Amino acid sequence: MILFVADDHYKTSPGKNTCEEIAGDYPRMKFLENDWSGFTAFDLAKDCELLILNMIADTCGLPIPDEQAAAAVKRYCETGKPLLLLHGGSSAFWPYDWFRESSGLRWVRGNDPDGFEASFHPHEPYRVVVAKTRHPLAKKLVPMELPQDEIYTGLEQTRPFTILMQTTISTGTFPQCTESFTRWGGRVVNFLPGHLPAVTRHPDFIKNVKTLIEDLLGDER
């Protein structure tokens, strides 16, 4: 099973848009929007092969996932299984210190418990390119010419990571896709683009999301 959980991200529904583009390729995928029940309705540690998060806790008027949901996700991570964190997914469980540390490259909220300066997202058209790296996954990814959208910058490095894709905009060069590992050995891929439907349904965006899913599932097969 693949569990894909998203918020509506201020009525833009990036997770839902992405899911609709890829669902036909993943019949075992279960998708939930604005609904945290899936974290405890399934035995993630036993039955979930890949957890995809496209959400930020305590946004869009939604509640923070409760202790039971967080514990279920932590048990999943403790098995060494992978995480795919789309857009703001690195803050899906930001109130929980173990998740903040596990996310690798973390979107920092304004009310950060660790006291870090908030991350920020300028809005520009942007090109995301494959980084200069010998990582085999990077060779499978394709560059993306994306319309004006949120560009996540100023994130916190919480684990050592490899930059797989990056963008250069008016304010500098920033990672847009990274790979790291949790303390339990699970792979974590952060894929930061993806707010408006013009991006989350863009053919090259979708191709890269599918490439990341296939690569992460390869560890579990």
DSSP 4-37: EEE--TTTT-HHHHHHHHHGGG-TTEEEEES--T
* pLDDT tens per residue, range 32-89: 999 999 999 999 999 999 999 999 999 888 999 999 999 999 999 999 999 999 999 9
* pLDDT tens per residue, range 206-217: 999 999 999 999
* pLDDT tens per residue, range 83-122: 999 999 999 999 999 999 999 999 999 989 999 999 999 9
The whole-angstrom distance between residue 126's C-alpha and the CA centroid of its chain comes to 19
pTM above 0.85, yes or no: yes
* pLDDT tens per residue, range 193-204: 999 999 999 999
Tally helices (H) and strands (E) across the chain.
7, 11
pLDDT at 111: 87
Query: Quick one: pLDDT band at residue 221, thresholds 50, 70, 90?
Result: very low
- Number of structural domains found in the chain: 1
CATH of residue 42's domain is: 3.40.50.880
Structural domain boundaries enclosing 202:
2-218
Determine if residue 165 is left, alpha or beta; phi over 0 gives left, psi from -120 to 50 gives alpha, anything else beta: beta
> Does residue 220 register a pLDDT over 70?
no
pLDDT at 200: 98
Determine whether 118 is exposed, middle or buried from the number of CB atoms within 10 Å of its CB (0-12, 13-18, 19+): exposed
The dihedrals phi and psi of 204, each to the nearest 5 degrees, come to: -75, -35
pLDDT at 74: 98
